[in-house]
């Protein structure tokens, strides 16, 4: 199991099992979302991921919804 949280702890997550995929992205959208030159991602089956707290979302581009903590702004999904 992998667990994590946002900076302030208002949103937490847990993912069971191994990721289905991992990747790095350096597209303009990901760079702007994270404020970093590259982002690392791990994809899990949706049924194996749980969030607690109030995950805020934004539709950043067609077909892409990004999740973040509405309190501290930490990037989460």
Mean predicted lDDT score pLDDT of the chain: 93
The secondary element (H helix, E strand) that includes residue 52 is: strand 49-52
Cα–Cα distance list, 21 to 16, 31, 43, 52, 77 (Å): 14, 20, 5, 23, 14
- Whether residue 60 is predicted with pLDDT greater than 90 in this model: the reply is no
Mean pLDDT of 39-68: 92
Per the structure, the complete domain to which residue 38 belongs is given by 2-69
Mean pLDDT of 16-34: 92
Domain count, the chain: 1
Neighbours of 70 (CB within 10 A): 15
- Whether residue 33 is predicted with pLDDT greater than 90 in this model: the reply is no
Cα–Cα distance list, 75 to 34, 39, 58 (Å): 7, 11, 11
Instruction: Name the pTM for this structure.
Output: 0.81
For residues 73 and 66, the answer to whether their CB atoms sit within 8 Å is no
Q: What is the pLDDT of residues 3-22, one digit of tens each?
A: 999 999 999 999 999 999 99
């Amino acid at each position: 199991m992998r667990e994590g949280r946002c900076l302030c702890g208002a949103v937490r997550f847990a993912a069971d099992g191994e990721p289905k995929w991992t990747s790095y992205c350096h597209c303009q959208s990901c760079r702007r979302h994270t404020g970093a030159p590259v982002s690392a991602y791990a994809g899990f089956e949706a049924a194996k991921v749980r969030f607690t707290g109030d995950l805020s979302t934004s539709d950043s581009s067609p077909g892409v919804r990004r999740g973040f903590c509405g309190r501290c702004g930490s990037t989460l999904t």
